[in-house]
Amino acid sequence: MIPETLLGQPFVLGHTFNGLYFAALLFFASVGLTLVFGILNLLNMAHAAFYGLGAYVAVWTLNNIGDITTTMAALLFVLVFVIPIVVFVLAAALDKTVFAPLYEIEPVYQLLATFGVILMLDDIIKYLWGATPISVDAATNPSRQLGTVDVLGASISTYRSFVILIAVLCVVGLYLMFVKTKIGKISQAMSEDYEMVQMLGINVTRVRVLIFSLSIAIAALGGALFVPFAVATPAVTLEYVLLSFAVIVIGGLGSLKGVVVASLIIGMVRSFGIAYVPAIELAIVFALMVVVIIVRPEGLFGDEGVVE
């Protein structure tokens, strides 16, 4: 029998909100992976590793910015804009060097090669910051400074609300980019027939670098927004590599809608699973993934294109 406290309105509301927060983080970690595959036909296993890199860079930056400023606006600006822009530039350089040869090989070799990138990034992180968990200092931690608000008896984190808002804005921004802008329409055309777009004289390399770098930057944004409420550890990379693959398997490779829906499903499953059956909450997620593979191998929206 489930205790009454696990059925009350504040409890359900609180865990629904936490589910949205988990979904936001999963979206950040996964959307770039599905876009890079759907548009560029690159199965980048290392994608979520940049989520972990963003987390470590955010902890280091916030812990060192205290000598300059501790204002909330500055801290949030660093998390939302500065760190993603820095990683965007790094990703552009990596695309031109490390990843460029991978676009021409079979997906199975892409997986093996990008797994090597995971190991490389993991070693770089351990070399720079060590293998022990690190966290943001209280003085420069936005989640502590913003506190909580009471909503119908449930204690809701203001910082987590901010993260959810950024995820929503990111979804809307990506959708508008693909539907309304020239670069977005070229990207959709590339997802349908890469060679034909190239034959039309369009600089597909420039578009490729932009899409790849934007995808990596979004992953780093997720990692940066994650650490004020948690700690950065090497295990973060592995956890989100696995979860991001669960998202794209359930939602369907190459579908923005699929990432959003699958992130929401997994976020809610994890939130309520932690509350009711914490010992098997992750097992439920991957059991759901197996069911989708059996019933609909292409995923819920895997045959609908990037934004359809």
Q: pLDDT averaged over the chain?
A: 88
Residue 302 lies in a domain: no
Residue 305 lies in a domain: no
Please report, for the domain that includes residue 141, its CATH number: 1.10.3470
Q: What is the pLDDT of residue 8?
A: 56
Report which of 240, 221, 192, 216 is spatially closest to residue 22, judged by C-alpha positions.
240
Residue 152 lies in a domain: yes
Q: Categorize the per-residue pLDDT at 3 as very low, low, confident or very high, splitting at 50, 70 and 90.
A: very low
**Residue 306 pLDDT exceeds 90:** no
Ramachandran category for residue 277: left, alpha or beta (phi over 0 → left; psi -120 to 50 → alpha): beta
Residue 208 lies in a domain: yes
- pTM of the prediction? 0.92
Tens of pLDDT, residues 205-243: 899 999 999 999 999 999 999 999 889 998 888 888 889
Q: What is the pLDDT of residue 235?
A: 85
Q: What is the pLDDT of residue 308?
A: 61
Q: What is the pLDDT of residue 15?
A: 84
When pLDDT is averaged across residues 151-170 and rounded to a whole number, the result is 90
Tens of pLDDT, residues 282-292: 899 999 999 99
Q: How many domains does the chain have?
A: 1
Structural domain of 187: 4-295
Q: What is the pLDDT of residue 305?
A: 62
Under 8 Å between Cβ of 133 and 231: yes
Residue 307 lies in a domain: no
Question: Cβ neighbours of residue 51 under 8 Å, at least 6 residues apart?
Answer: 28, 29, 219, 220, 222, 223, 226, 236, 237, 240, 244
**What's the CA gap between 241 and 225, in Å, rounded?**
17
When pLDDT is averaged across residues 93-106 and rounded to a whole number, the result is 91
Residue 300 lies in a domain: no
Cβ-based neighbour number of residue 168 at 10 Å: 14
Q: State the sign of the Cα–Cα–Cα–Cα dihedral 234, 236, 239, 244.
A: negative
Residue 304 lies in a domain: no
Q: Between the ranges 3-17, 99-113, 142-156, where is the mean pLDDT highest?
A: 99-113
Residue 301 lies in a domain: no
Whole-Å CA distances, 264 to 122, 141, 201, 305? 28, 26, 39, 19
Q: What is the pLDDT of residue 144?
A: 84
